[in-house]
Structure 1
C-alpha cells in the first residue's frame, strides 16, 4: 500500500470565481422585454382561468 494514500472523502476542487460581466444597454433592453412578455403572458393566463370558472 502506498504511503501517500489517506482515508476519507476527497474534497472537490473549488470552481474559479466568475468575473463580473459588463451588461450592455442592449442586454438590459432585451431582458426587460422578456420580463414584460412573461408578465403579459401571465396576465392573459389569469384572465383565461377566470373566464373558464364563470
Structure 2
C-alpha cells in the first residue's frame, strides 16, 4: 500500500535564461508587433462597420 495520497505535485520548470537579441532580431520583433497591432485595428474597424451598418432592411408588407 502506498502512503502517498492525493495528487502528486508537478515538477518545477527550470528557470529560463533571458535571451539576448541583436539589432536585426529586435527590428524583426518590432515589425511583427506593429503588424499585429495594425491587424487588430482593422478587425475592430470591420466589426464596427458590420454592426453600425444598415444591412438588409425587410419590409413588413407582403
Fold equivalence (TM over 0.5): yes
Out of 39, 51, 54, the position equivalent to 2:53 is 51
CA RMSD, aligned part only? 2.5
Bigger Rg, structure 1 or 2 = 2
Going by fraction, where is helix more abundant, 1 or 2? 1
> Which runs of 5 or more structure 2 residues have no equivalent in the other structure?
58-62
> Which runs of 5 or more structure 1 residues have no equivalent in the other structure?
none
TM-score (norm. length: structure 2): 0.56
TM-score (norm. length: structure 1): 0.61
Out of 6, 18, 21, the position equivalent to 1:20 is 18
